[in-house]
Amino acid sequence: MKSDIYGLGIETSCDETSMALVKNGCQIISMNIYSQIKEHSPFRGVVPEIASRSHLLKIQSVFNKVIADSGMNPGRISYAAVTNRPGLVGSLMIGGQFAKLFSLVYNIPLVCVDHVKAHLFAPVLEGYRPEYPFLGLMLSGGNSSIYKLDSFHEMEKISDTSDDALGEAFDKAASILSLSYPGGPSIEKKAQECNDSGESIFTPLLRDRPRDDMTFSFSGIKTAVLRAHQKKNHPAVICRDFQNTVFELVERNLKKAAALTGIRRIVASGGVLANQTLRQRLDLLARTESLELIYPEKTILCTDNGGMVAALGYEQFIRNEICLNDFSVSSRR
């Protein structure tokens, strides 16, 4: 009988300090996330220097809580998995150094994990193991892209943003409207107050896009939000139409990607997937277009978390893909 494998997942790519202890790559034993929202709220966006320092101050306490909650001796852990790309370099280095020291102290392998790929493995923690090929939809504060995954090692980006990521666009739109940071939850909440059933004030932004364009672009909608606000449009109407416009672009690009590749299976993740309006729209799209759509049911697994890092790290660990001697971090994939 095979013994269970426990892995420690460490995530510090941006503004969440998170660790998780995961069993056999699919069962969270304990997980802790420290969010830096309060530190960055005055600036309405992530400040890299503040993020790095916060990781440095919080990482030990995050680890202590994960171990305490699990009731497990750290000596039973078989591998340490850490995000090393993409992300803020200073933030990545804090998690990386902790992971490297942990692996040395307990003499266990260190596994370096791709942040985007880890997000697409998050459904494993809820019992879904992706079957290849599939399309990966990543929507977060730093990424808006679609990937084609033909195997564990074959991941090709087929659509990307030409300017901002969708999460960043939410933050900037919320700032224009003087709504709270982060922008995603505040815009979704304000949009629910809208009772106006009229045509979207941002409809021309999508009408003028080339039909074969599969690029994400959100700079135009930010300018449109500013102009609508200056014209005294009601904030709830602006929020509703903002959401509908950016989500329609997501739907269009997904349909184009499915048509281009012939792949009908989609795994979606990233912090923006915590938006319930987006989930409802994607569910409807999947039904009408006969797509197989998978995303984490628990919204916490859509955000940056150590569980997804440990899950992907497990797959690399059993393949003996370790990185103790060549550890490095990168802001890019």
Q: 39-87, pLDDT tens digit by residue?
A: 999 999 999 999 999 999 999 999 999 999 999 999 999 999 999 999 9
On the question of pLDDT at 117 being above 70, the answer is yes
Task: Between 22 and 206, name the one with better pLDDT.
Answer: 22
CA trace torsion 28, 155, 89, 26 (10° rounding): 10
Report the C-alpha gap between 307 and 311 in whole angstroms.
6
Q: Read off the tokens for 284.
A: 């409807």
- Which tens digits make up the pLDDT trace of 217-249? 998 999 999 999 999 999 999 999 999 999 999
The answer to whether residues 67 and 26 touch, using CB atoms and an 8 Å cutoff, is: no
Residue 292's H or E segment, with its range, is strand 292-294
The answer to whether residues 51 and 106 touch, using CB atoms and an 8 Å cutoff, is: no
* Average of per-residue pLDDT values in the chain: 94
Report the C-alpha gap between 266 and 6 in whole angstroms.
28
Q: Calculate mean pLDDT across residues 109-137.
A: 96
Q: How many residues in the chain?
A: 333
Q: How far does CA 79 lie from the centroid of its chain?
A: 23
- Return the CATH number of the domain spanning residue range 6-124+302-326: 3.30.420.40
Give the sign of the dihedral formed by CA 86, CA 91, CA 97, CA 103.
negative
> What pTM was computed for the model?
0.95
From the DSSP assignment, how many helices (H) and strands (E) are in the chain?
11, 10
Identify the CATH assignment for 132-297 out of 3.40.50.11540, 1.20.1630.10, 3.30.420.40, 3.40.50.2000: 3.30.420.40
Domain boundaries, the chain: 6-124+302-326, 132-297
β-partners of residue 216 are 161
Residue at 190: amino acid letter: K
